[in-house]
Amino acid sequence: MPTIGVAIPVPDPYGALLREKRADFGDPMARTVPSHVTLIPPTEVEDDQLDAVCAALERASAALPPFAMRLRGTGTFRPVSPVVFVAVSQGISYTEMLAKCVRTALGSPEPEFPFHPHVTVAHNLDDASLDRAYDELNDFECRFTVSEFALYHHEDEAGWVPQRAFRLGPG
């Protein structure tokens, strides 16, 4: 049974830089997790459902036009979760609407915690490493246009591999 995820990829050079920093902080997930903003967390689906998933994502992608995204500064989910992230500071409402469209299209349950768009840069590390990530990326900033989101499959060796992109907007 494949495990999928749906996310907005952070384009290079920003995505590569954040992934490199994640590795520098000692996060082993840097090797297998591309820089992204999660829309649907890891979800198991039946093999015979993948075509239906793609059709649903195609419909969801038509619901919103491309939009501007700005990543700026850092935040954390500590003490609830040992995560440091780069914050989405522009495009939040569009990202929330897109996540809701994708969740609705796939029939996914509401998330356990309120949806908070972000790019994880350190996860499950010691406090010193989390503090370092928070401090070193506090001045990080980039802007890009979100014109698509991607369906990822989890593979044992390679980690999260993009399988298909879905362009935003009608047609």
The full set of domains in the chain, from first to last, is 3-167 (3.90.1140.10)
Q: How long is the chain?
A: 171
Q: What is the pTM of this model?
A: 0.94
Residue 170: the pLDDT is 82
For residue 148, give both structure tokens. Answer: 């698509």
Q: Report the run of H or E that residue 14 belongs to, with start and end.
A: helix 14-24
The structure tokens 């001045």 sit at: 139
Residue 89: the pLDDT is 97
Residue 32: the pLDDT is 95
CA dihedral of 60, 63, 150, 26, whole degrees rounded to 10 = -110
SS3 94: helix
The C-alpha atoms of residue 30 and residue 147 are separated, in whole angstroms, by 24
- CA 75 to centroid of chain Cα atoms: 15
Residue 171: the pLDDT is 66
Q: Is the C-alpha dihedral spanning 138, 30, 21, 35 positive or negative?
A: negative
CA dihedral of 5, 152, 22, 119, whole degrees rounded to 10 = -50
Phi and psi at residue 80, to the nearest 5°: -65, -40
Residue 162: the pLDDT is 96
The amino acid occupying position 119 is: V
Q: List, run by run, the mean pLDDT of 10-residue segments along the chain (171 residues).
A: 94 98 97 96 90 92 95 95 97 95 85 88 97 98 98 94 94 66
Q: Report the run of H or E that residue 26 belongs to, with start and end.
A: none
